[in-house]
Amino acid sequence: MGAYRISEVWRSQGLCSFRRDCTSKYSLPMDEVKFPLFHRTRAISQMCNISSYTTELLEINSKEPLMQILFIPGNPGIVSFYRDFVEALYENLEGHASITAIGHISQGGKDLERRKMFSLQEQISHKVDYIEQELRTCQLPIVLVGHSIGSYICLEIFKRLQHQVKYFIGLYPFLTLNKESQTQALIGKIAGSAIISAAVSSFASLVGSLPTRVSRVIVRRFLGPSWSTTAIDATCKHLLQYHTMRNVLFMAMTEFRKLSEDPDWEFMKRKQSQIALLFGVDDHWGPLSVFEEQKREVKPPGLVFVAIYH
């Protein structure tokens, strides 16, 4: 659903207008086009050194790219969670975009940073460093796509690299605290306590140390049947590690401190023709109250707001 919505935004905002028609191969609307599963291009996982930090990337390189998409995950910033999304997005854009999903530092299966913890600001700087290191000579328009707190990270990247970024799309954006959310309040208390965070991380590590079959059953029951096999596998392999969970909670603590401030409405007003935000009707991280507030504050006509079920 998210991948299809993004392709809709692309067309509505004319992001395909600088090339031949993205739908030139098909006369049907995008939601009626069927893509055989065996033709799906698979995303490739690889490790990249960015400013001395080993970083996991998930990539699909187009043979005929018309844009470079950089996807920033939420928290946890484990790119394996987004494999299906990245592949579906590439499919919906008919292979006319090269896509890179970049993981957060020290939120992976191996503790390469020796239990060092990284804040929200450090994760933002890490993504800026990636663009300056790997995309500095990129001749294609760079489009940022962020999920949850990844949307906030994209917005901060956009501020710093306005000459390079063509467009920004936020999926279920977490841009400010939701004071009505009991879930956020609970996570804030857990993340704000070093003792509780260590205990939660130790428990996650314990579950991760169990036989794979057992840990998968526990994770599936805890997360629910709606989670895909890809998400279950990523959770067991990457999230159920002490260092990963500690980094997830530490980053969350710094998120809650920073996002207690109001979003930068002025920047969003200036760049409204280059921003689209897709809210979830049932998403407590970016609730409809924030959706309505942003519409009042920014007063588009260019900024695209879409509310859909998460």
Per-residue pLDDT of the chain (310 residues; tens, 9 = 90+): 566 556 665 555 555 544 333 333 333 343 444 444 447 899 999 999 998 999 999 999 999 999 999 999 999 999 999 999 999 999 999 999 999 999 999 998 777 788 899 999 999 999 999 999 999 999 999 999 999 999 999 999 999 999 999 999 999 999 999 888 899 999 999 999 999 999 999 999 999 999 999 999 999 988 777 788 888 999 999 999 999 999 999 999 999 999 999 889 889 989 988 999 888 877 878 777 777 877 777 765 555 666 555 5
Ordered by start, the domain boundaries in the chain are: 2-180+259-308
CA separation for the pair 242, 209 (Å, rounded): 10
Long-range (24+ apart) CB contacts under 8 A made by 194-203 are 197/245, 197/246, 197/249, 197/250, 197/253, 198/246, 200/245, 200/249, 201/242, 201/243, 201/245, 201/246, 201/249, 202/242
Per-residue model confidence (pLDDT) at position 21: 38
The answer to whether 166 and 145 have CB atoms below 8 angstroms apart is no
Residues in the chain: 310
- Taking domain 2-180+259-308, whether its CATH number is 3.40.50.1820 is answered by yes
Question: How distant is the alpha carbon of residue 13 from its chain centre?
Answer: 21
AA letter at 178: N
pLDDT at res. 27: 35
Residue given tokens 């187009």 in the structure block: 62
CA distances from 84 to 2, 35, 101, 280, 292 (A): 11, 14, 12, 19, 30
Model pLDDT, residue 18: 40
Token reading at 58? 């998930």
Q: Identify whether the C-beta of residue 72 lies closer than 8 Å to the C-beta of residue 154.
A: yes
| Ranges of H-type helices in 26-168 | 83-92, 120-134, 149-160
Task: Please state, as a whole number, how many other Cβ atoms lie within 10 Å of the Cβ of residue 269.
Answer: 15
Tokens found for residue 32: 């009626």
